[in-house]
Chain A
Amino acid sequence: MPDQSDDIVPQYYEDVPLEDDYLIQVPEIVMLDDEFVDLETEVKIVSEMGIRTKKRTIEGDVLIVGAGISGMQAALDVADKGYRVVLVDKSSTIGGNMVKLDKTFPTNDCSICTSAPKMVEVSRHPNITLLTYSELAGLDGEAGDFTAHVFRKSKYVDPDKCTGCDDCTEVCPIEVISPFEEKLAKRKAIYIEFPQAVPIVYTIDYENCVGCGACERVCEPNAISFLEKSDDIEVKVGSVIVATGYEVFEPLEMRQEYGYGKYPNVITAMQFERLLSSFGPTEGKAKRPSDGEKPKSIAWIQCVGSRSKQLGFPYCSRVCCMYATKEAAITKEAEPDTDMTIFYMDLRAYGKDFQEYYDNAKELGVRYIRGRPSSVYQNEDKSITIRYMDTHTREVTEKTVDLLVLSTAIMPSKDNKRLAEVLGIEVDESGFLKSESILSDPIQSTRKGVYLAGCNQGAKDIPDSVAMGSGAAAKAMVPIKDREQVVPAEPVPEKDVKGEPPRIGVFICHCGKNIASYVDVASVTDYAVTLPNVVYTTHEMFACSEDIQKKIKEKIEEEGLNRIIVAACSPRTHGPLFEDTMAEAGLNKYLFEMANIRNQCSWVHSHEPEKATQKSKDLIRMSVVKSALLEPLEERESDVIPKTLVIGGGLSGMRAAIALADMNIDTFIIEREKELGGNLKDLHSLFPSEIEASEIVNPLIERIKNDPHITVYTETELLGVDGFIGNFTAKIKAGEEEMELQFGTVIIATGFREINLDGRYGYGTSPKIVTQMDLEKKMKDGTLDKVKNVVMINCAGAMDEERPYCCRIGCGVAIKNAHLLKGLNPNAEITLLYRDIRVFGKDEEEYFANVIENDGVKIVRYLKEEQPDVSVDEDGNVTVTVKDAVYGDELTLTADLVVLTAQTEGGVETEKIKKMLKVPTGSGGFFTEAHAKIRPLDFASDGVYVSGSAHYPKNLADSIAQAEGAASRASIPILQGIVKGEGIISRIDPDKCSGCGLCVEVCPYGALQLDEDLKIAVVNVTLCKGCGACSGACPSGSARQMGYRDNQILAMLGSAMISGD
């Protein structure tokens, strides 16, 4: 059912005691036949509309419930493997919560810009059936043979006729508070959630529609159909993925403390996202709700509804520190004079590049105050005064701001209990869906054949949700792996445009505010239309959205376009989407050209809008001249070797191999050590539990030994890798023996290690000074002497100038080990020195709170610039001195054990593997994924994937989800069986070639050879990778790199020199 009417919800909250309210059942609105006839209406609402039609049955392979970013990723991964997906979402559009966000940390990528291509891809995938405005009502059967019952509500609009013109909303007299806009705006009773909604079909909100018929009268294509029926659909599938996401805590019961719902200028962070969003209610301008004025000061209060046993939830909500930092930094960048303050408890900047992002926000002038404000009150001018104690100065003071943003927690969907009942699975004590085991099987639910992904079992940020979506797509294969794959449909026949004069269409993108705020798109459009061969131009809010894809196809028909140019972001990220659109309209995709007016223009010249506008015109002109010279190209297909190489036999490498084996795919694991297990084999136990690492790792090793699909090479060195996706060859040295392995895809799972502390903190000068890894080994071997006074120092060698990043796992490990030491000696005095306690995952905060409460571990906060000092005297006594940042005392602690939580870095062989596989690494020697948010497991190079701590240190649950995700990604080319080669390859013009052989020498792939009879060079197209080295070397101009021919590049060059306006 759709969300309840919004003025009902608050009242409903107010009277319910907090501990229960999120599990209370929202009464389902049942459509009764008699309700329809009672409506006073002149239009043709008839009683039949309430009667459900005969059951429809859809045959599929995997049912996915929830089409947010995680569900969409899972759907694409399953569908790309050649299996049929039925994707259900209760909302009228797909996209989930992510599309509501303005930008995403830590790259500040525009959220809709990264989601929209995935939404479009989902909606046009031939193997995906989309059921929006639908809900799961039942699930019978068992893994491999489920029958799901889905209730699809009528939208009362015919999706095939609706053009998305918006005429209907103009005339609709009913205004409803918009849940999508977080109650900051109203929508009509006939609506789309947002302009880029997929599918782009309007929906009549039955609960609020009065049946006046105004919309029907203005609808030109006659798309409104009050006769359209809701229906019960039976879906036959083999497995089910549940990706139903989360809700955001609404802090109404905190109105005494924080004034939400009482003072207009207290809003939630999600509401602030809508204010920042270019398609939000204020078109991206932060305004005070009370008067619409620009706030001169804004404050954020963290942990609203999280890390609290009294109000809200005990867990850490994992993303709030970073989203608040992002919101503050973005606003500060746009309005440098605005005063920004964030009130926090621990700043949990734990992920890849998060700490650097946080440091940057501080540099921009965002002020961070450590303290949890006790209360706020409103002043006469509607400003808000916050009372707080700064824990560093111990002073209770007040701060007054124009706008207060509450960083509210991610909480379980209120529907989880009902959904769990329907699915026959369990919920945990917080109301999240329960994993079979957080430590060994986070994706598996408590029912066989039903898998979990995304935030429905705990808060996660976007890449972790995406990885888990892919992981679920791997697991969901198990019950269906022996089914037949779908035979792909014949592609749209290609139009022959050879010999036609160029007819170029130019689509210019606003990218919300990202381009349009800095580039005058209207003038650029007016300019583009004057360029030669351009017959059509337009500018659009988001060129990548579904409706614009439709428009591109329409314009290809209407205007007879035979070349398309999109001036928007980067061809590296969005090119394929537009190329697919062209292919669907029967145009060869190599007739596409992109002008990068965002990443390489508006974003980098935002202080010089006039120059950015001029540069945009130049870039478009250069694209136009090249476009006119483009030719259709052919792609060759080649077979994929159905095997995967996994580099690294630690936890994530093993889990990836097992996930592949479960899909009947053969893998090789190569491991440099004698045994499998990686870091895990040296660990004693695993945070946030006391489960011994061996209990997790030994069964995996056993399983792998006995799995016929997995071949393990230990004590093995990788000597070299050749080839491309589908056809790789690796040279390895296993023991003394050298051999070659052939495979289609590769997963890098080379893990992480502690850095060499190199004498810092006295490491190496005394046996009493050890790292956490040393301690784990000692505890595992039972060689740890009884200790009384222990000092642990977190962030040793971390978050400094040399290594500015956070290690992500150290805090948890330290807390777990403190607890274990206390268990070994209850009289032990344990002091943990920390900078921020970053325990963010499921059950982590709870574990930490328990250790502090029950074990009496003393925690002392120190500041970056006041590093603890460790000294060893002549008698071998170890002393740690530190300044307590909270109480200001200088502490001198004698210790019979000092444990350093050392910074981490990428595995030993990172540099070598990086070069062999041509993939990048970033800070700390961790591999850099293709996209920080939406492609966390891929690289820019096809066929190579990353998993586990090789990407960044991770806890067990995240590593496993990622490993299974990487297995899913790596299996796609294998299950597809063929890869399409590039059309961009080289051709030799036999008439011009003089047979000098220069190209033969420069070709890195041996794709060129001299034909001894003809005395000219010839190209072996299966070997050619399209680098163009031969064209660069050819003295006669006969070696032509298709798509980058001399005439095309020279035309761009000449065009760049013209000053156009």
Chain B
Amino acid sequence: MIEMDDKSDFEPKIIGFLCNWCSYAGADLAGVSRFQYPANVRVIRVMCSSRIDPQFVLKALTEGADGVLIAGCHPGDCHYIEGNYRTRRRIAALDKILEKYGLSDRVFLEWVSASEGKRFAEVVTDITNKLKELGPNPHKARWEI
């Protein structure tokens, strides 16, 4: 029962990796359009989603993040031709490992274009709600001292 109460107050910590050209721009546009979304994501800007080394995702989860968002240009729209395809393959491979640790549903790969401010706000709202539902990252060992 206590756990349930915790869940309702639980504010997940989310790391968001956004590519500079599409998703970061989309997040900027969400601001310009004043679309409100939960304040749970801390954004790290990268030039391309293909910069994201799977170890960053693992590191985030072991350091205690409750979720990780990776957002890039829609397939076919990558500013660097095909970076987002690499990302897609890489995250698919990473997912196999995450599954083993029960972390698979804490990592989100989304495509958000520069004109999709609304979508960015929806994506963040959506994953925040999902993570609230899931509760804290069970591997947050370092946290529990």
Binding site for B on A (CB under 8 A): 107-109, 333, 570-573, 596, 598-601, 603-608, 611-612, 614-615, 618-619, 622, 914-915, 918, 920-922, 928, 940-941, 984, 1002, 1004-1005, 1025-1029, 1031-1034, 1041, 1044, 1046, 1049-1050, 1052-1054, 1056-1057
Partner of B79 from A601, A607, A941, A1005 at Cβ < 8 Å: A941
Whether B44 pairs with A600 at a CB distance below 8 angstroms is no
Residue of A nearest to B114 (CB): A920
Partner of A1032 from B39, B65, B86, B113 at Cβ < 8 Å: B86
Given contacts A918-B79, A1057-B63, contact A1049 B31 (CB under 8 A): no
Given A109-B32, A928-B115: 10 more A-B contacts, CB < 8 Å: A604-B36, A918-B78, A920-B113, A922-B115, A940-B25, A1032-B51, A1033-B90, A1034-B53, A1049-B56, A1050-B56
> Is B134 in contact with chain A by the CB < 8 A criterion?
no
Given contacts A107-B33, A572-B25, A918-B79, contact A1044 B50 (CB under 8 A): no
Whether A921 pairs with B115 at a CB distance below 8 angstroms is yes
A–B pairs, 8, beta carbons within 8 Å? A108-B33, A604-B35, A619-B42, A920-B114, A1027-B50, A1027-B79, A1029-B80, A1041-B47
Given contacts A109-B32, A572-B25, A918-B79, contact A1028 B50 (CB under 8 A): yes
Residue of A nearest to B80 (CB): A1027
Whether A596 pairs with B43 at a CB distance below 8 angstroms is yes
- B105 CB to closest chain A CB (Å) equals 20
Measured between beta carbons, the chain A residues less than 8 angstroms from B90 are: 1032-1033
Bound: A821/B77 CA distance, A: 46
Residue of B nearest to A621 (CB): B42
Measured between beta carbons, the chain A residues less than 8 angstroms from B79 are: 918, 941, 1027
Measured between beta carbons, the chain B residues less than 8 angstroms from A1028 are: 46-48, 50-51
> Is B127 in contact with chain A by the CB < 8 A criterion?
no
Given contacts A1004-B80, A1032-B86, contact A604 B121 (CB under 8 A): yes
Interface hub of A107, A601, A928, A1032 (most chain B Cβ within 10 A)? A1032
- A991 CB to closest chain B CB (Å) equals 19
- B33-82 interface with A by 8 A CB criterion: 33-37, 39, 42-48, 50-53, 56, 59-60, 63-65, 76-82
Whether B63 pairs with A1053 at a CB distance below 8 angstroms is yes
Size range of the chain B interface in the assembly: 35 or more
Partner of B51 from A604, A619, A1005, A1041 at Cβ < 8 Å: A1041
Given contacts A570-B28, A604-B30, A922-B115, contact A1027 B48 (CB under 8 A): yes
Measured between beta carbons, the chain B residues less than 8 angstroms from A614 are: 39
Whether A598 pairs with B42 at a CB distance below 8 angstroms is no
- B100-135 interface with A by 8 A CB criterion: 113-115, 121
- B115 CB to closest chain A CB (Å) equals 5
Residue of B nearest to A602 (CB): B31
Whether A920 pairs with B31 at a CB distance below 8 angstroms is no
Given contacts A1004-B81, A1032-B53, contact A107 B28 (CB under 8 A): no
Given contacts A108-B34, A1032-B52, contact A1054 B47 (CB under 8 A): no
Measured between beta carbons, the chain A residues less than 8 angstroms from B64 are: 1057
Bound: A604/B24 CA distance, A: 14
Measured between beta carbons, the chain A residues less than 8 angstroms from B30 are: 599-600, 604
Measured between beta carbons, the chain B residues less than 8 angstroms from A600 are: 27-28, 30-31, 43
Whether A571 pairs with B42 at a CB distance below 8 angstroms is no
Partner of A612 from B15, B39, B46, B87 at Cβ < 8 Å: B39
Whether A622 pairs with B46 at a CB distance below 8 angstroms is no
Measured between beta carbons, the chain B residues less than 8 angstroms from A608 are: 39
Whether A1002 pairs with B32 at a CB distance below 8 angstroms is no
Residue of A nearest to B51 (CB): A1028
Bound: A941/B73 CA distance, A: 14
Partner of A599 from B27, B77, B82 at Cβ < 8 Å: B27
Whether A572 pairs with B36 at a CB distance below 8 angstroms is no
Given contacts A603-B31, A922-B115, contact A1049 B39 (CB under 8 A): no
Residue of B nearest to A603 (CB): B31
Partner of B47 from A606, A612, A928, A1026 at Cβ < 8 Å: A1026
Whether B36 pairs with A605 at a CB distance below 8 angstroms is yes
Residue of B nearest to A1004 (CB): B81
Interface hub of A572, A605, A1002, A1029 (most chain B Cβ within 10 A)? A1029
- A60 CB to closest chain B CB (Å) equals 37
> Is B83 in contact with chain A by the CB < 8 A criterion?
yes
Bound: A598/B65 CA distance, A: 24
Partner of B114 from A108, A928, A1041 at Cβ < 8 Å: A928
Whether A571 pairs with B39 at a CB distance below 8 angstroms is no
Whether A599 pairs with B32 at a CB distance below 8 angstroms is yes
Partner of B37 from A570, A604, A1056 at Cβ < 8 Å: A604
Bound: A1054/B86 CA distance, A: 25
Measured between beta carbons, the chain A residues less than 8 angstroms from B83 are: 1004, 1027, 1029
Partner of A1056 from B13, B86, B114 at Cβ < 8 Å: B13
Partner of A984 from B13, B31, B47, B80 at Cβ < 8 Å: B47
Whether B28 pairs with A1031 at a CB distance below 8 angstroms is no
Given contacts A603-B32, A1025-B80, contact A618 B48 (CB under 8 A): no
Measured between beta carbons, the chain A residues less than 8 angstroms from B60 are: 1053, 1057
Residue of B nearest to A932 (CB): B32
Whether A1049 pairs with B25 at a CB distance below 8 angstroms is no
Whether B121 pairs with A615 at a CB distance below 8 angstroms is no
- B93 CB to closest chain A CB (Å) equals 11
Residue of A nearest to B45 (CB): A571
- A527 CB to closest chain B CB (Å) equals 15
Whether B50 pairs with A1002 at a CB distance below 8 angstroms is yes
- A905 CB to closest chain B CB (Å) equals 16
Measured between beta carbons, the chain A residues less than 8 angstroms from B77 are: 914-915, 918, 920
Given contacts A603-B32, A921-B115, contact A1046 B47 (CB under 8 A): no
The 10 nearest A-B residue pairs measured at CB: A1028-B51, A599-B31, A1027-B80, A1029-B50, A603-B31, A611-B39, A1027-B48, A1056-B42, A1004-B81, A599-B28
Partner of B32 from A107, A928, A1052 at Cβ < 8 Å: A107
Whether A572 pairs with B121 at a CB distance below 8 angstroms is no
Whether A618 pairs with B32 at a CB distance below 8 angstroms is no
Whether B34 pairs with A604 at a CB distance below 8 angstroms is yes
Partner of A108 from B32, B37, B78 at Cβ < 8 Å: B32
Measured between beta carbons, the chain B residues less than 8 angstroms from A605 are: 36-37, 39
Bound: A344/B42 CA distance, A: 45
Measured between beta carbons, the chain B residues less than 8 angstroms from A612 are: 39
Bound: A598/B43 CA distance, A: 13
Bound: A884/B106 CA distance, A: 56
Residue of A nearest to B52 (CB): A1032
Whether B36 pairs with A606 at a CB distance below 8 angstroms is yes
Bound: A1050/B59 CA distance, A: 8
Whether B53 pairs with A1031 at a CB distance below 8 angstroms is yes
Residue of A nearest to B30 (CB): A604
Bound: A941/B44 CA distance, A: 21
Measured between beta carbons, the chain A residues less than 8 angstroms from B42 are: 615, 618-619, 622, 1056
Whether B114 pairs with A1027 at a CB distance below 8 angstroms is no
Residue of B nearest to A107 (CB): B32
Measured between beta carbons, the chain B residues less than 8 angstroms from A1046 are: 53
Measured between beta carbons, the chain A residues less than 8 angstroms from B36 are: 604-607
Whether A940 pairs with B114 at a CB distance below 8 angstroms is yes
Bound: A928/B76 CA distance, A: 17
Bound: A1044/B46 CA distance, A: 7
Given contacts A920-B113, A1050-B59, contact A1056 B15 (CB under 8 A): yes
Partner of B34 from A333, A622, A1034 at Cβ < 8 Å: A333
Bound: A572/B22 CA distance, A: 11
Whether A1027 pairs with B47 at a CB distance below 8 angstroms is yes
Whether B44 pairs with A622 at a CB distance below 8 angstroms is yes
Bound: A618/B44 CA distance, A: 12
Measured between beta carbons, the chain B residues less than 8 angstroms from A1044 are: 46-47, 51
Bound: A921/B24 CA distance, A: 16
Measured between beta carbons, the chain B residues less than 8 angstroms from A596 are: 28, 43
Bound: A413/B125 CA distance, A: 50
Given contacts A572-B20, A1054-B63, contact A603 B47 (CB under 8 A): no
Bound: A914/B78 CA distance, A: 11
